[in-house]
Chain A
Amino acid sequence: MKYAYYNSCSLRSTGREYHQSLMRVFDKLEIELEEPKKWVCCGSTLAHNSSVLLAETLPLKNLAEIEKMGLDEVVVPCTACYNRFKVAQYEDDEDRRVKKEIEEIIEHKFEKEIGVFHPLEILAREDNLAKLKSLVVRDLSHLKVVSYYGCLLVRPHKETGFLDNPEYPMTMDKILSAVGIKTIDWSHKVECCGGSLSITRPDIVLDLTSRILNDARSVGANAVAVPCTFCQLNLDVRQEDLAKKGVRYDLPIYYFTELVALAIGVPEKDLMLGKHFVESEQVLTRAV
Chain B
Amino acid sequence: MTETQVVLEYELLPGHISELAGNIKAMHGVDANMCYQCGKCTSGCPLNEYMDMTPTQVIHAVRLGLKDIVLNSNTYWLCVACGTCTGRCPQDTGLLMVMDALANIAIKEGIKPREPAVAEFYRTGLNLVKRYGMMYEAGVAGLLSLKTGTLGRDFGLGLRMLKKGKLEVIPHSQNADEMKKIFQRVAKKEQELAGS
Using CB atoms and an 8 Å cutoff, list the residues of chain A in contact with chain B. 8-10, 12-14, 16, 38-41, 43-54, 57-58, 61, 91, 94-95, 101, 104-106, 151-152, 154-158, 166, 191-192, 194-197, 199-202, 204, 208, 233, 237, 240, 275-277
Contact B107 A50 (CB under 8 A): yes
Contact A197 B160 (CB under 8 A): no
In the complex, whether B35 has a CB less than 8 A from a CB of chain A is: no
Q: Which residues of A contact B104 (CB under 8 A)?
A: 49-52
Q: Which residues of A contact B133 (CB under 8 A)?
A: 40-41
Tell me, in angstroms, the Cα distance from A58 to B130 when the chains sit together. 11
A selection of 17 A-B contacts at a CB cut-off of 8 Å is A10-B135, A12-B134, A13-B135, A41-B133, A43-B129, A51-B190, A53-B190, A152-B83, A154-B87, A155-B83, A156-B87, A166-B87, A199-B121, A199-B140, A200-B144, A201-B117, A276-B164
Contact A194 B80 (CB under 8 A): yes
Using CB atoms and an 8 Å cutoff, list the residues of chain B in contact with chain A. 27-29, 46-47, 50, 78, 80-84, 86-87, 96, 100, 103-104, 107, 115, 117-118, 121-123, 125-126, 129, 133-135, 137, 140-141, 144-145, 153-154, 157, 160-161, 164-168, 172, 174-175, 178-179, 182-183, 185-186, 189-190, 193
Given A51-B104, A201-B118, residue A156 in contact with residue B86 (CB < 8 A): yes
Q: Which residues of B contact A58 (CB under 8 A)?
A: 182
Contact A201 B115 (CB under 8 A): yes
Given A41-B174, A49-B104, A197-B80, residue A191 in contact with residue B46 (CB < 8 A): yes
Q: Which residues of B contact A201 (CB under 8 A)?
A: 50, 78, 115, 117-118
Tell me, in angstroms, the Cα distance from A41 to B182 when the chains sit together. 12
Contact A151 B82 (CB under 8 A): yes
Tell me, in angstroms, the Cα distance from A191 to B66 when the chains sit together. 31
Cβ of A114 to closest chain B Cβ, rounded Å: 18
Residue of B nearest to A196 (CB): B80
Given A50-B107, A200-B115, A201-B115, residue A194 in contact with residue B46 (CB < 8 A): yes
Residue of A nearest to B95 (CB): A156
Find B182's partner among A8, A106, A191 (CB 8 Å cutoff): A106
Residue of B nearest to A38 (CB): B175
Tell me, in angstroms, the Cα distance from A106 to B174 when the chains sit together. 16
Tell me, in angstroms, the Cα distance from A53 to B185 when the chains sit together. 10
Contact B134 A51 (CB under 8 A): no
Find A14's partner among B50, B166, B183 (CB 8 Å cutoff): B166
Find A200's partner among B117, B137, B157 (CB 8 Å cutoff): B117
The 3 closest A-B CB pairs, nearest first, are A155-B83, A9-B135, A192-B82
Given A95-B29, A155-B86, residue A105 in contact with residue B186 (CB < 8 A): yes
Tell me, in angstroms, the Cα distance from A14 to B161 when the chains sit together. 8
Given A50-B126, A53-B193, residue A151 in contact with residue B47 (CB < 8 A): no
Contact A105 B189 (CB under 8 A): yes
Q: A41-B133, A237-B161 provided; 8 other pairs, C-beta below 8 A?
A: A9-B135, A12-B168, A43-B126, A49-B104, A50-B123, A53-B190, A194-B47, A199-B157
Residue of A57, A166, A201, A240 with most chain B CB atoms under a 10 A cut-off = A201
Tell me, in angstroms, the Cα distance from A222 to B181 when the chains sit together. 49
Contact A13 B47 (CB under 8 A): no
Cβ of A36 to closest chain B Cβ, rounded Å: 10
Q: Which residues of B contact A94 (CB under 8 A)?
A: 29
Residue of A9, A166, A233 with most chain B CB atoms under a 10 A cut-off = A9
Given A48-B100, A155-B82, A194-B80, residue A101 in contact with residue B182 (CB < 8 A): no
Contact A195 B80 (CB under 8 A): yes
